[in-house]
Each structure stands twice: as structure tokens, then as C-alpha cells.
Amino acid sequence: MKDWRPGISVIIPTYNRSQLLQLTLQSLERQTLSNVFFEVIVVDDGSNDNTKDIVDSYTDKLPIHYYFQSDQGFRVARARNIGILAAQFEHVLFLDSGVIAEASCLAQHLKQYQSSNIDVLIGLCFGFEELEESSIRAFKHRLSNNNIFADHTFLDQFQDCRAPYLHSHGLSLQYIAEPWLIFWTCHASCKTQALFDIEGFDEYFTSWGGEDVELALRLHGIGAKFELITDAKAIHYPHPKVKADTYKSAKENINYIHDKHCSVATYLLQQGMSWQDILTAHTRPNDALKGILFSQAHATSFSQAM
């Protein structure tokens, strides 16, 4: 076992999003946690913009490291693995380019690990959903104010798309049997040793979708304890999403996840059930879950017979 340093390694994969990356680095520069206890690892998945120049501009402001892999298509799983292998601290925080962390975000992650016997923390991001164009403009304009995290009334309009479901469960994962379904690497952390124990991300994933929940599924499989963190605040800066072929890619990756793991939850995911419905099904009595599974299987068999 490696002798990890106390603290947290922030891993940010990126590709041709230098302006968004700069927003994230600006927020990390403002952290209340001493930079003795954290590092920032940017892994560039083959960008041809000024990403490296942006990173270089922070070398005297942050304990920052830059790694580059040539552009051979979508290789975010491999990029994150590069970051994990380079990590020096006992916890890893995954952030996406364009995620703005509140000043106490890193400190709150470490505080919760120190006060709880947990292995994985799932964070939320304000603005993490599809927004209407008018809302995007309003959100971007308001983000120019450095005190936005204190404006709860405004931010409540842009709750993470997971928030309503989690609020219905008292912002607790205690009765959620499949927390891996909502482990999304826009804002999530984990013990570094646990990531080594499962050998990191599956590098089969070379198209959009699923590599983060599959990693979390394997963490769940080795008994890792998941918890939600609500005191660590973050904002997902709104930006256009790449939609071409994403649904096809996600479906193919879901099929791969089910073929690899063959669980009830992965089967329901493969059959098109939403993560909300699967989580709800797995908090019901076993008979109810069996009924849902039977209905899904019967419907599939019938459609194939047609």
C-alpha cells in the first residue's frame, strides 16, 4: 500500500475547454484549505487550444501538474487513470472543467472523511441539468458576482437534477441500495487506495457516458461506503453540450455495463429505466422489485416476439 499524504488530489480531465478550465482553476486558487494539503492534476485528452498555457499561468498560484495524452478520440477514463496514478494524497476529488468550487469545498470534503467512516462522497452541482437559453444567460450573468454562493434564493432555482430525489430521502443515502447510479464525476471524491484496489476506471469506455457509474459500481461491489456531501458546494457553469451520438453512445455503454456486471439494477438500466426509478424500486420490498423486474422482462420478451 502506498504511503499517501494527508489531503486531497483534485483530478480534472479536459479537452479543448480552456476557458471553462480557467473558471475551475480560479475557484481552486481561492480555497480556504492550505495548498500544503492539496494538489491539482489536469489531464489533457489531446487539446489543440491554449489549455497548457492556461495551466502554466497557475504554476505560481497552485500546486498544479499537467499531463497530456495525444488525441485518439474520447479517452476520459484513461485521462482520469493518469491522474489517479499521479495522485500523492489519500483522497481524490474529481471535478469537470467548468465546475466552480466554493472556497471551502476541498476543506469540507476532508472534514467529512475525518468525521465519518466512509470511502466515497457524492457532491452536487448547482446548474447541473439542461437549462433553457434564457436561464443560461441569467445564470452566466449572475456568476460574475463573487458572492453567488451566498445567494441561496438565486441558486435554489438551479438545483442539481439529482437534488429533488435526494431531498425526498432527507439528503441521505442510508436507504438507497444503489448509490453508484448517482456517482457522477462532475463533483465526487473517493479514497485513493480504493481506486487502486479496483484498478481505476475501465478504459474500455472510449465514448460518452457511463464510465463514472461503472467505476462506482465496482467500488460498491468491494464494500465501499458511500455518503452524500451537501456542505461542499459547487456550480456547473452552463455551456453547450455535445449532443451528437450521445444517446447511441450511452446505450452502447449501458449494454457493456450490464454484460460486465449482470445485476438486477444494470438489467433495469439496460431496459431503459431511469436512475430515479431504479433507485426507487430498490428501496421497495423485494416482492415489489420482483414485480417490476418481471414486468420489464415480460415486456422485452413480448417485443422481441413481435
Q: Quick one: pLDDT at residue 257?
A: 97
Q: Quick one: pLDDT at residue 275?
A: 94
Looking at the fold, whether 300 and 198 belong to one and the same domain comes out as: no
Looking at the fold, whether 193 and 268 belong to one and the same domain comes out as: no
**Spans of the chain, pLDDT less than 50:** 130-131, 284-290, 292, 294, 296-306
The SS3 of residue 255 is helix
Domain CATH for 116: 3.90.550.10
Question: CA separation (Å) from 93 to 110, 181, 239, 265?
Answer: 10, 18, 22, 26
- 275: Cα separation from own chain's centroid: 15
Looking at the fold, whether 68 and 109 belong to one and the same domain comes out as: yes
Residue 34 lies in a domain: yes
Single out the residue of 86, 108, 96, 97 nearest to residue 17, CA to CA.
Answer: 97
Residue 249 lies in a domain: no
In whole angstroms, what is the distance from residue 277 CA to residue 224 CA? 23
Scan for cell 489531503, then name that residue: 7
Looking at the fold, whether 203 and 306 belong to one and the same domain comes out as: no
Residue 253 lies in a domain: no
Query: What range defines the domain where residue 292 resides?
Result: 262-306
Looking at the fold, whether 212 and 285 belong to one and the same domain comes out as: no
In whole angstroms, what is the distance from residue 194 CA to residue 164 CA? 29
Looking at the fold, whether 223 and 298 belong to one and the same domain comes out as: no
Q: Quick one: pLDDT at residue 300?
A: 41
162, containing H or E segment: none
Contact (Cβ atoms closer than 8 angstroms) between residue 109 and residue 189: yes
Looking at the fold, whether 131 and 237 belong to one and the same domain comes out as: yes
Looking at the fold, whether 301 and 184 belong to one and the same domain comes out as: no
Q: Quick one: pLDDT at residue 146?
A: 65
User: pTM score, two decimals?
Assistant: 0.90
Q: How many domains does the chain have?
A: 2
Residue 232 lies in a domain: yes
Residue 218 lies in a domain: yes
| Sign of the C-alpha dihedral computed for residues 22, 37, 64 and 182 taken in this order | negative
Looking at the fold, whether 270 and 210 belong to one and the same domain comes out as: no
Looking at the fold, whether 68 and 192 belong to one and the same domain comes out as: yes
Q: Quick one: pLDDT at residue 298?
A: 43
Condensed to tens digits (0 to 9), the pLDDT of residues 92-133 reads: 999 999 999 999 999 999 999 999 999 999 999 998 874 455
CB within 8 Å of 251: residues ≥ 6 apart: none
